[in-house]
Structure 1
Amino acid sequence: MTSAYLISSGVILLTVVGIAYGGTFLLRVVDRTVPVNELQRTYFRAGHAHAGILVILALVIRLLLQDDAVPVWSRAMGDLVLVAAVLMPAGFFLSVIGRDPAGPNRLRALIWLGAGSLVLGLVAAGVGLIVGGASL
């Protein structure tokens, strides 16, 4: 692994601390000490869950794709899972900002952009691993 790869992976891992701290906000939402409506409660929970799972998944994928047999394009596109880890939670949180929203706003599109990024990243990583394994 290169120095830049190790440093960026370390920074990504440290974001999990921020996600864990965000869990304290979520606990206040669930305990109803933060005034939110049911839509916000649901979206905040989904945003927090997606952030945590996708960041860890992105780190696992980065590790798997480090083998020299894996094509370079697969390594690059595998990082789209990390992009999804930013876009999807942002969409969940930002689309219900405000006082008592009746529905999500246009920033909900970030959820779908993140989902697309996730699918592309997963397919590229999976195909890259298969291609790399077949070439050994």
Structure 2
Amino acid sequence: MTPLQLSQPTQAIAGVVLLTVVTIEFGGWFLTRIVRGQVPMTPFQQTFARAGHAHAGVLVTLGLVCLLFVDATDLDGVALWTARLGVPAAAVLMSAGFFLSSLERGATRPNRLIVLLWIGALCLAAGVLALGIGLLTS
């Protein structure tokens, strides 16, 4: 078996995505402060903080896994970049949607920035569809 060879763009994106894990760690620490009552938040805000943190962790992991498969496809152009960046972009956008839409002091429902969650969901769908189709047709 030969060692895994990543293209330079895939390797660079994976490196950046790995660096974001430090921010997810910080989010985990912050969540411990929330659940200990050290950060005043409404139940809605606590729920959205948990959801934003969970989505970040899961989608960053999925994004790294997807990057391992991208270079095994024959994709090019927009399809290649959609497969490469769709899931990592979703990790950022969906988490931001949860966090930023619940940021206002005493919030009990999401503000307009919830749209970031739905844009992220579209990026996620586009990324996994492009990669799945690319793998099945290569």
TM-score normalized by the length of structure 2: 0.88
Task: Provide the C-alpha distance between the structure 2 equivalents of 1:94 and 1:28, rounded to a whole number of angstroms.
Answer: 18
SS at match of 1:90: helix
Equivalent of 1:24 in 13, 26, 29 = 29
Matches within 5 A, 1:1-136: 1-67=6-72, 69-73=73-77, 74-78=79-83, 79-132=85-138
Verify the 8 A CA contact 2:74 2:134 in the aligned structure 1.
yes
Corresponding residue pairs, total: 131
List per-residue Cα deviations over 1:15-48 (Å, max 9, x = no partner). 1121112100011112221100100000000000
Shift of 1:2: 3.3
Across the aligned residues of Structure 1 and Structure 2, the Cα RMSD in angstroms comes to 1.3
Who is 2:3 aligned against? none
Verify the 8 A CA contact 1:71 1:131 in the aligned structure 2.
no
Task: Provide the C-alpha distance between the structure 2 equivalents of 1:81 and 1:91, rounded to a whole number of angstroms.
Answer: 15
List per-residue Cα deviations over 1:72-123 (Å, max 9, x = no partner). 2443111111111111000000001121112110000111111111111111
How high is the sequence identity, in percent, across the aligned residues? 45
TM-score normalized by the length of structure 1: 0.89
Give the unaligned 5+ runs of structure 2: 1-5
Task: Provide the C-alpha distance between the structure 1 equivalents of 2:8 and 2:87, rounded to a whole number of angstroms.
Answer: 21
Verify the 8 A CA contact 1:62 1:75 in the aligned structure 2.
no
